[in-house]
Amino acid sequence: MLDEQLKNNDSIPRLTDQDYRRLAEFVTNNWGIKLPPAKKVMLEGRLRRRLTALKMTTYKEYCDYLFNSDNHQAEALEMIDFVSTNKTDFFRESDHFRFLQETVLPALIERHANLNLQLWSAGCSSGEEPYTLAMVIRDFQRENRSFPVRILASDISARVLQQAKMAIYKEDKIAPIPFDLRKKYLLRSKDHKNKVVRFVPEIRNMIDFARVNLMQLENYNIGSPFHIIFCRNVIIYFDRENQERLVQNFYDRLEPEGYLFMGHSEALPGLKVPFKTVAPMVYQKA
């Protein structure tokens, strides 16, 4: 009977309002992601696959399992893979990378005689952003001078971090990467039927990947201060209180005159954090 139910996901009863409120509160308290009532259908659909994997037939059964102290910590790590949104692309919001290359990096090498660049891609998803940053910085160095670079790429999802570490992408994903950068920094599979590419070691070695919960930064030794932080299209999922808390954490982890890059839908006006705007959705520590 159980096997027959699991073959058809539609046989799982709908998520009740009571169980949804329990799950939504858990998600917000642990990861800062806000889940208003309108997100109920989305959460129900995403968690249905998890119920199937656990051979469960109701969301109440899943809630009882999640909130059991013996399963709590391990299941929370599994759950976030289904809850978090991981949309990203190479050179997404490309004007930011032009501003980095044309304005920020020249300012940093002028300010620091011995620049040791520390950059953080917070909410890196499957790696497209940090690999874009690595290519842009390496290309800048070719035309200027070399300097040590450390890119910390973090995400809450262990699943997407595993993808990012592999540095392997389908050919249709690399379309936004300029052709000259593809020639320099990407290797095609020797199996012509396997339409994938991988970044060269020169680029891969610039990036350290780590699982980091942005709502619990005090629990992580991520190093600081950073010269640059990219956190784009992340805080839109947080409520106002957690947005302000996170942006203040970024401010504290930036060096004086360091830069914070946010997504184009994430303006800071109204948040009580002393950044100054230097370009659209680019802020500098005052």
- Residues recognised as catalytic: 46, 155
Residue 37: is the preceding peptide bond cis (ω within 30°)?
no
What are the beta bridge partners of residue 13? none
DSSP, collapsed to helix, strand or coil, labels residue 125 as: coil
Name which of 20, 39, 16, 79 is nearest 236 in CA terms. 39
The Cα 26–Cα 22 span in angstroms is 6
Query: From CA 266, how far away is CA 168, in angstroms rounded?
Result: 30
CB 134, CB 181: distance < 8 Å: no
Give the Å distances, CA to CA, from 247 to 251, 252, 253, 280, 283: 6, 9, 10, 17, 11
CA separation for the pair 29, 51 (Å, rounded): 22
Distances, alpha carbon 78 to alpha carbons 127, 158, 224, in Å: 20, 8, 29
